[in-house]
Structure formats: structure tokens, C-alpha cells
Amino acid sequence: MKQEFSVETLLQHLGEEESFPYGSVTPPIVQTSLFTARTLRERNARQGRNEFGYTYTRADNPTVRLAEQKLAALESTEDALCFSSGMAAIASAILTFAECGAHVICVDTAYPPTRTLLGSWLTRYGVQTTFVSGERMEEFEAAVQPNTRLIYLESPSSLYFRLQDLRAVSQWARAHGIRTLCDNSWATPVFQNPHALGVDLVLHSASKYLGGHSDLLAGVVAGGMEDIVRIRQTRELLGGVLEPFSGWLLLRGLRTLPIRMERAHRSGLQVAKWLASQPHVARVNHPGLPDHPQHALAQAQMRGYSSLFSFETVPITEEQAYAFTERLRLFRFGCSWGGYESLLLGWAHGEANAQGKSPWLFRIYVGLENPDDLIRDLQGAIDALLA
């Protein structure tokens, strides 16, 4: 079915060609830890021939497997694996390939826990990491060592939304025998397919847009079969597998991913452009805006933009910053984006001047509300800044 249809259609039908029990239109939640055979003889005979199929949900489960089939089709990879969180997926992929004595090159604006895992936690196991901005090929060339095994990419990256040239970096890495991994949570497979650009392994926090409703924790690794077989063993040994009910929630979220992303693209750009026109806003970090320093690269390797970005203010007092946020009625303050609700986080950013004012960096997530309402809400709050 894969090649014949577009992703919107595959998300509704792939793996569901056979009807489910009782003519149910939704897949069953196979909420079991264990799968048994009728007799011990049957079990032992099948296991010996490697034909037993499902044995234990820590290894595999049909509900989760259905989500994995769809995710592999979305990312155009041979296979995909689901994990209990994005961090379980990221850690399992890295631990599969970064053995003691290995060196890793990582983007310095990657998701902070990923940087902690590589930059400090894994040093205990003899893995060293060099951080680079990732914006220029020469940084990778300068950082490479004879024992470099992995290049960890996140494009666009967290907080500043910086890009890496995925085609150029992965081509160069392959020529040096280095595996590439890319966190694709921001763009989602709807707007970017790192594997099609040459990246070996694509990672997701499915707790974000893929799930889409702020009601599940999940992670994904998608890639070629040989790598996936090795990472599946890591998943089974470390145990960070997705449980069936969350697999089912993920399947439900995925069905509407393309239409939610279309909306995220439009609403995010509308709010970003409006913010860029505001006198208190010094800069908007959104790769879809023409003045983003990597806009041309963004257009070349992505088909659209999601709705998480940041903006920097002119110097303001802490009181003004909090007064701005306290006037907002449609935004909540929290970290995990990709759901239906709009969010904001913010920090003082840089040195305070003599008047005690400093620039603030706000990370904004534009949810599924009407963007005109969000802009009105932001306008009212910005007016409080002027007061």
C-alpha cells in the first residue's frame, strides 16, 4: 500500500486493510503484557523457528506496531520503533551506537536534556561530545576525530530554531563512516523528512505534534532495517517501550496530523509576522520569516513550518515582563508544546542596563485557537507594557 498513496491516506488506512473485530473502525487496544501459545510444544517449536510473533509487550505489541508502521511510512524509512518518551527514544538510539571511547558531535542548541545526556551523563561511560552551532559545514570538519561515531542534529533546534544543512552534513558524515541522527519533532514528517535528505536515524518526541493533544508521552526512532534491529534490542533491554493505550492515543493523534500541521503553519506565521511588527519586539526567531538568517535553507529542506518559535524584546524591567504575561488570557505557561493549547515561557536574556532593564526571550507556542484571537490577546498584553 505504501507507494500507492499519499501520507494523508496512509495515516487512515495503512495496516488497517483487514477489518478489525466486530467491524470496529478504530483499531483494538491490545492491552496485554503477555501473548501465549495453546501448548508448550507449539510455543517451543515456533520460538525455535523464530516464528512466534508476539510474545511479550516489552518486545512488541500489535497496537504499537500499527503506529510504528504508519510512522515508518510518514518518514519514508524501512521501519520505526515507538518508545515510552522522546528521551527514551533519543537515549536508546545514542546508547546503541556510542560505545565506550566514542566521540559524538552534537548541535549546541539541541533539546537541553539531550545535551546533558551527551555532555555530562555519558562521559561517565567514556563517551565524549563536542558541541557545535551546526550552522556551517566547517564546524563539523574541525570537530571530527578518528573515533567520531555519531553526529547528533536537531533542525530546527530548540529555543533559537537554528538549522543544519541536513543533506550536506549527512553526505559528509557518510563519507567519514559516521552515523547521523536528527531530532525532527519540530518540523514533523509532514514538513521535513531527514532520512530522505540522507540522515540515518530520525527521532521524535511524539508527546508533541505527533500525539497532538497533550495527553500522552511517547518517542519514535525511524530508520533503515539494520539500525532498527539493533535499536530494538536496546529498547527490549532498557525497557523504554510504549505501552498499548498510549500507542492507541498516538494512532488517533496521527490521523489528524497533516491538517493540524497545515493550521500550525498558517497560524504560526501569522502570529510571528505580527510580533515582528511590534515596537517592543527586537527579533523573532522563526525560520519561515524572510529575515531569519537561514530562511533560504529552511525553504530548501522543509515544506512548511510548525508553530513553535521565540522572540526577543527590547530591554524591559522584570516587572514589565511579568505584567505582559499576566495580562494574557489565552496562553498558559508550560514546557511541552504540540497540543491544542497556546503556551508561553520567558526569561531575562543578557545583561541588565543601568535602569535595571534587560532583553527578554519568550518562547511561544501557537495552538489551535483562532490566530486573530491570539493576536488580540497579545496586543492587549503588550499595551500593558506601554502603560
Residue ranges in contact with ligand PLP by CB under 6 A: 85-87, 111, 158, 183, 185, 205, 207, 217, 219, 336
* Least distance to ligand PLP, CB of residue 240, Å: 10
223/359 with CB nearer ligand PLP:
223
76/336 with CB nearer ligand PLP:
336
95/375 with CB nearer ligand PLP:
95
* Least distance to ligand PLP, CB of residue 372, Å: 27
Q: Which amino acid is at 175?
A: A
88/381 with CB nearer ligand PLP:
88
Tell me how far apart the alpha carbons of residues 261 and 368 are, in angstroms, rounded to a whole number. Answer: 10
212/315 with CB nearer ligand PLP:
212
Q: DSSP letters of 284-300?
A: EE-TTSTTSTTHHHHHH
192/205 with CB nearer ligand PLP:
205
10/221 with CB nearer ligand PLP:
221
* Least distance to ligand PLP, CB of residue 86, Å: 2
Residue 113: Cβ within 10 Å count: 13
* Least distance to ligand PLP, CB of residue 119, Å: 15
334/380 with CB nearer ligand PLP:
334
Tell me how far apart the alpha carbons of residues 361 and 161 are, in angstroms, rounded to a whole number. Answer: 13
* Least distance to ligand PLP, CB of residue 336, Å: 5
103-107 and 148-154 strand pairing:
parallel
* Least distance to ligand PLP, CB of residue 298, Å: 16
308-313 and 281-285 strand pairing:
antiparallel
Closest-CB residue for ligand PLP?
A: 86
* Least distance to ligand PLP, CB of residue 184, Å: 9
- Select from 186, 243, 235 the least CA-distant residue to 216: 243
| In the block, residue with C-alpha cell 493550521 | 263
Radius of gyration of the chain (CA): 22
3-state secondary structure of 14: coil
Tell me how far apart the alpha carbons of residues 250 and 149 are, in angstroms, rounded to a whole number. Answer: 32
Distances (CA, A) of 336 to 212, 221, 340: 11, 19, 11
Tell me how far apart the alpha carbons of residues 209 and 286 are, in angstroms, rounded to a whole number. Answer: 17
Contact status, residue 127 vs residue 118, Cβ threshold 8 Å? yes
Contact status, residue 263 vs residue 256, Cβ threshold 8 Å? no
* Least distance to ligand PLP, CB of residue 214, Å: 11
Tell me how far apart the alpha carbons of residues 320 and 101 are, in angstroms, rounded to a whole number. Answer: 49
Query: Which residues, at least 6 apart from 297, have a Cβ–Cβ distance to it below 8 Å?
Result: 163, 165
87/289 with CB nearer ligand PLP:
87
* Least distance to ligand PLP, CB of residue 92, Å: 12
Tell me how far apart the alpha carbons of residues 254 and 210 are, in angstroms, rounded to a whole number. Answer: 6
